[in-house]
Amino acid sequence: MSEVRSNLRWRLTALSVLVPLVAVAMFLIWQDYQSRRDQMMANLELKSAQINAQLEDFVNSTESVARVFADAFIRDRTDPVGSFAAERGSPVQANPYLTELLAVHPGRYDRIAIASPDGMILALSASFVAGSKLPDETFAAKLRTANGFTVSDVFTPLDGVEPNVMFAYPMRGSGGAPLAWVILKSPLTVISGSLDMTTGFPDSAKSGIFDSTGHVLAGTGHEAPHPGLIVGKDISASAVWRQASLYPTEPWFGPGLDDVQRAIFFGYPKKTPWITTVGFAQAELFGPLWNRVYIFSGGLLLSILGALVLAEFTGRRERRAWELVSSERQTLSAVIAGATDGILVLDSDGRVLHRNRRFGECFDFDPILGATTERRFPDQLRAAGTLSEADEHRVLGALAGSDVAVAAVTVKRLHARDLQLTAYPIRAADGEVTGRTLVARDVTDENRVRRMKSEFVAHASHQLRTPLTGILTSSELLLGAPGNEPATHARWLNVVHSQALRMRSTINTLLNLSQLESGWIGVDRRAFDAADLAGQVIETLTAAGSEHRFEIDFSPEARGVLADADKIIEVLQNLLDNAVKYSPAGSRISVRGRCSAGSKVVVEVRDQGVGIRRDDIKLLFSPYERASAEDRGLASGTGLGLYIVKSLIELHGGEVWVDSELGVGTSFFFSLDHADPHQHAVPAATTPAMAGRL
Amino acid sequence: MTLPSILVIDDNEDLREIIRTFCEIAGYPVRVAADGDVGLIEIEAFRPDVVLVDLLMPGKDGFAVLQSLRTDYQHVRPRRVIAISALTDRVTVSRLRALEVDAVLPKPFSLSELRSLLTEPQHAGG
């Protein structure tokens, strides 16, 4: 259980470290990405503005050139339009003047023409004439509606050589109305060649120019001319164009014309009908991002591996420690559970950590284990109420101190129980008391035995005092009294003798008891006739002067018993002595024998004496316990006879019991093994050795 | 001076007879009883000056006799009540004191002890 909890704790610890670590790293990487992206977009915007400015410069300078040309025409010719029209040959021939003008800006504009306000071509440079295509009606229609400098759509391709751009500038007369158009044509390569894509930009940067219908006009930048390679291509179906049309001011991330993921910024240069873009591959943006992610992931992986190795290492140590603790705990539990004393372990707040079953038996309540303060042992003890208030104080006082404390209390129950308590402090390594143990030893039996032993000693000495008094006093009479006759002497000597015999009998009983208790007595079983044996014992009693009427009544099958005859003689002597002692002279005392179930013979010794009180019966067979002195009359005998009877019969595997009625009589019963029928005839094996016995 | 009359209550025949003989020899008028019931009858009939009563007896024992002398037989209570006791434990001693016994003759005793107990001034008894 604890191992599972330990593993779980490890996982939670690892998670609690890893999750914030990953989160922080991701956040930093994302922050970095965002700032790089912002930086890149700013660069894109700046670059777009630069390119657009360059384009505008080009357009503006073209306008200036056209104005210069127009001014020259008006200055050089009083009727420039008319004169150009007049110079126009048929078929159209190159105008030498225009060809000459064109030479002023070699390379930048490759053609020049003059058109009427309604778009009719009035004059052409030589290069125009050589071209395969002249400005057509579409171009003428644009000129008719235009009202100033205009940049025409791209002619793509005009002459099969390269795309180019037409510029038209109005020559105006003094009234302000256009007299004619000066038309300049410039190859797109010249325009795009004037754009600077490389300064301060990554290698992957590109720029493009598209016309308003979605055709590629020019491209530049890295691996240029791109998208110049596809100049004239219709890209109106592409994602780039859709983005440019739908969100003309939004920067965009997506596949460029070359299908490479790019960040793109769209621009609209003034005075142009076209759109420019600048962009570069997103690898520029994501490359460092992924590098960071890879580096971080690698670092994280290494950290996790390291942590796992560390965890395994410490886990093993922890497991070993746990196993050690667990084993010690099991040992402790076994020791506590198996102890014959009651054991209770409390923490410093008095909560119950351990207790064994024996403790519950001692205190007559089972303390509840628990970590809550409601389960403090003192409260539980008070609630149980098995101790008097004073004893409760003793227990709690022993638990309150910080040293070893002892207390003796008595548990109040039907049969009071004496407990000897010892409280020990549990100390931590620094000596601080972290709890208490309370060991409870049930000393009820010890106390009872001690009390009984002391009573027994008093009793035994009492048994010797009476005959000793007889001996003392009668010997005094013998020694000192004047006028005693020989007959009187004999009488007192007899007293001395009989009292001495009585003392010997008492001493024999004590020795018997000591032998029985030490287990030295062996049993020599033989089959004999129990009725005969009873007869022999009765004979000795009548010989000693007993005036009772004795009867022997054995059924024929009950006569044979298997036992140690010497021991049974002692049993019968004890029982018959008692019967004689506690029944009036002349009354009947009978010894009966009957077979019972289980191959047993039950022998009954019945008298017509005073009887025994019910309460005293259960004490009859206890050693040292005296039956009520008033009625059983301990004036003679040791009171141990019945205990000896019981012990001897039990040595034979039999039982002893008693049935009595006050004033009517008492029957003592004992059971013995039934002997084989063939052995019935065997006479009692042992001659009763009465002398020196009870 | 007339010697006080004595009643001995003891179930032990030998002791009973020894004390009786001793008293007779010493000149005390003496009677004996073998148990408590007879003893009380004798007290009522004989009115002894001194009663010697054994404590442990079958039937009505010495304690019961002493108790009776404080209640039903108070009017015939002898001048001195002496308990013969083989029990010398504290419980018995205090019990005897409560029963207002004048003196205790602890077993084993000798006749000289009995004599000095009988001849000592009465006020020293108990």
pLDDT above 90: residue A603: yes
Nearest to A113 by CA among A127, A105, A152: A127
**Spatial distance between the Cα atoms of A216 and A52, rounded to a whole number of angstroms:** 16
Contact A458 B89 (CB under 8 A): yes
How do residues A481-525 score in pLDDT, each as one tens digit?
A: 555 577 778 888 888 888 888 888 778 777 777 777 776 777 888
ipTM metric: 0.87
Q: Which residue has the higher pLDDT, A14 or A345?
A: A345
Check CB contact of A613 with chain B, cutoff 8 Å.
Answer: no
Confidence class for position A549, pLDDT limits 50, 70, 90: very high
Q: Which of A466, A470, A633 sits opposite B58 (nearest CB)?
A: A633
Preceding peptide of A225 cis, ω within 30°: yes
Lowest mean pLDDT segment, chosen from A327-341, A482-496, A601-615, B78-92? A482-496
Please tell me which residue, A340 or A633, carries the higher pLDDT value.
Answer: A340
Q: Which helix (H) or strand (E) holds A186?
A: strand A178-187
Alpha-carbon gap, residue B81 to B6, rounded angstroms: 10
Q: Which residue from A469, A492, A635 is facing B56, i.e. has the nearest CB?
A: A635
Across the range A673-682, mean pLDDT stands at 64
pLDDT averaged per 10 residues in sequence order, chain B, 126 residues: 89 90 91 93 93 87 92 91 85 88 91 88 49
With 60 as the cut, is the pLDDT of residue A190 above it? yes
Provide the 3-class DSSP secondary structure of residue A435.
strand
Tens digits of per-residue pLDDT, A209-253?
887 778 777 777 655 445 545 667 788 888 888 888 888 778 888
List A437's β-bridge partners, or say none.
A345, A424
Structure tokens at A485: 């006759």
Q: According to the model, what pLDDT value does residue A633 have?
A: 40
Q: How confident is the model at residue A6 (pLDDT cuts 50, 70, 90)?
A: low
Q: B8, B57, B107: best mutation site toward chain A, by most A Cβ within 10 Å?
A: B107
Residue A304 clears pLDDT 60, i.e. is over it: yes
Q: With 0-12 CB in 10 A as exposed, 13-18 as middle and 19+ as buried, what is A582? A: buried
Give the model's pLDDT for residue A92. 66
Q: How confident is the model at residue A685 (pLDDT cuts 50, 70, 90)?
A: very low
Which has the minimum average pLDDT: A25-34, A446-455, A547-556? A446-455
What is the pLDDT, as a whole number, of residue A422?
A: 92
Helices (H), A544-661: 565-581, 614-617, 641-651
A474 within 8 A of B14, measured Cβ to Cβ? yes
> Of the given ranges (A111-115, A351-355, A624-628), which has the lowest mean pLDDT?
A624-628
pLDDT of residue A671: 94
Would you say residue A38 has pLDDT above 90?
A: no
Average pLDDT estimate for A325-331: 90
Q: What is residue A677's predicted lDDT score, i.e. its pLDDT?
A: 56
- At A157 the pLDDT is 46
Tens-digit pLDDT profile for residues B84-117: 988 777 888 888 999 999 999 998 899 989 999 9
Interface of B with A in 89-108 (CB under 8 A): 89, 106-108
A115-to-A74, A109, A139, A178 alpha-carbon distances in Å: 14, 17, 10, 11
Determine the pLDDT at residue B89. 77
Shortest CA gap A453–chain B (Å): 14
Shortest distance, CA A440 to any CA of chain B (angstroms): 31
In whole angstroms, give the CA distance from residue B118 to residue B79: 12
Per-residue model confidence (pLDDT) at position A535: 92
The phi, psi pair for A550, rounded to 5°, reads -100, 140
pLDDT of res. A162: 65
Condensed to tens digits (0 to 9), the pLDDT of residues A377-418 reads 888 888 888 888 898 888 888 888 778 888 888 888 777 888
**Does the structure show a pLDDT above 70 at A444?**
yes
Question: Which one of A466, A492, A610 would you mutate to disrupt binding with B, by most B Cβ within 10 Å of its Cβ?
Answer: A466
Calculate mean pLDDT across residues A253-265: 81
Provide, as residue numbers in chain B, all residues whose Cβ is less than 8 Å from the Cβ of A492.
18
Asked if B14 reaches chain A (Cβ–Cβ under 8 Å), the answer is yes
The predicted pLDDT at position A504 comes to 85
Q: Which residues of A touch B19 (CB under 8 A)?
A: 473
pLDDT in tens, A451-491: 777 777 777 777 788 889 999 998 888 887 555 577 778 88
User: Residue range A52-79: average pLDDT?
Assistant: 82
DSSP 8-state class, residue A215: B
pLDDT of residue A11: 77
Instruction: Check residues A359 and A694 and name the one with the higher pLDDT.
Output: A359
Can you read off the two tokens belonging to residue A94?
């190159």
CA neighbor of A54 nearest in space, from A203, A267, A279? A267
Burial tier of A177 (Cβ tally within 10 Å: 0-12, 13-18, 19+): exposed
Q: Which residue has the higher pLDDT, A308 or A682?
A: A308
DSSP β-bridge partners for residue A657: A669
A681 pLDDT tier (thresholds 50, 70, 90): very low
Q: Which of A242-256, A534-548, A626-640 has the lowest mean pLDDT?
A: A626-640
How far is CA A364 from each of CA A317, A378, A532, A535, rounded to the nearest angstrom? 43, 15, 54, 54
For A594, phi and psi rounded to 5 degrees?
Answer: -140, 150
Q: What is the mean pLDDT of residues A13-35?
A: 85
Helix (H) or strand (E) holding A484: none
- Residue A687 pLDDT: 37
Tell me what the pLDDT averaged over chain A comes to: 80
Arithmetic mean of pLDDT, A284-290: 77
- B114 CB neighbours in chain A (<8 A) are 473
The answer, yes or no, to whether residue A269 has pLDDT greater than 90, is no
How many C-beta atoms surround the C-beta of residue A474 within 10 A? 26
- What is the pLDDT averaged over residues A259-267? 82
Asked whether the beta carbons of residue A635 and residue B11 sit closer than 8 angstroms, the reply is yes
A612 pLDDT higher than 80? yes
Q: Which residues of B touch A487 (CB under 8 A)?
A: none
Place of tokens 């073209």: A62
The pLDDT of residue A627 is 41
What per-residue confidence (pLDDT) applies to B126?
37
The reported pLDDT for the residue numbered A605 is: 94
The model's pLDDT over A358-380, given as tens digits with 9 standing for 90+, comes to: 888 888 888 888 767 667 888 88
How confident is residue A152, by pLDDT bands cut at 50, 70 and 90?
Answer: low
Q: What is the largest CA-CA distance in chain A?
A: 211
Confidence at residue A672, expressed as pLDDT on a 0 to 100 scale: 93
Nearest to A513 by CA among A634, A629, A646: A646
pLDDT > 70 fraction of chain A, expressed in percent and rounded: 85
Put simply, the answer to whether B107 touches A473 (Cβ < 8 Å) is no
- Average pLDDT estimate for A616-642: 57
List A186's β-bridge partners, or say none. A165
Interchain CB distance below 8 Å, A470 and B14: yes
